[in-house]
Amino acid sequence: MPRKSLYDVNAIMEQAVDIFLEHSFHGAVMEEIIARTEFNRRGFYLEFGSKQQFLYDTLSYYHEHTLAPIVQHLENHHGIASIEAFFDAYISAMFGRGCLLINMVTELGHDDTTIQSIGRHYLDRLQLGFIGCLEQAQRQGTVKAEINVEAVALQLTCFVQGFAVNSILAETKEELHIATQALLNPIITA
């Protein structure tokens, strides 16, 4: 029997997310990927085949382990509380780092249809999540009855991407929370 490989794919993915967040896709060179992960070159290419495929897998891991659990808050359908929980979790995850998916959309989105499609699915899921929460909140009477649910959801979805960008430059978490409050205040019943 042969020896078993020493590396833990999940741990590697975790570091890959950091590396791609720090340096972008093209800015992250194989040298650093090999050095900072517990990989050896051969293992890397046996496991992933190419740097490009490695990005896709990392993105998939990031979606599953970072984005999906946050979006999950919206899918609990607890109205406005879910939306607030979502933003709290989102700010914590993004602050000082930004969002890997959004970074890949801005870097590769024009050329790479795979990234485009992942990005669009993510936006759709957000949009549907917000709609569900807002409808629930309207039934509960916690948001104003007169708001246009789809339009507000579109606005919230857009806002989330703004957070992803601002998180890279923001000096403090505070301003992100203040912006969220300004966003939610007007739709909440007094």
Residue 111 near DNA by CB under 7 A: no
Closest distance of CB 135 from a copy of itself, Å: 15
Which of 40, 68, 175, 189 touches a copy of itself by CB under 8 A?
175
Binder of a copy of itself out of 110, 113, 139, 140 (CB under 8 A) = 110
Closest approach, Cβ 6 to DNA, in A, equals 3
Q: Are 119 and 125 contacting, i.e. CB atoms less than 8 angstroms apart?
A: no
Establish if 31 lies at the interface with DNA (CB under 7 A): yes
Name which position in 103, 129, 131, 133 contacts a copy of itself (CB under 8 A): 103
Q: Closest separation between CB of residue 156 and DNA, Å?
A: 36
Give residues in contact with a copy of itself (CB under 8 A).
21-27, 98, 102-103, 105-111, 116, 119-120, 123, 147-148, 150-152, 154-155, 157-166, 168-169, 175-176, 178-183, 186-187
Site residues for DNA per CB under 7 A: 1-7, 26, 28-31, 40-46, 50-52
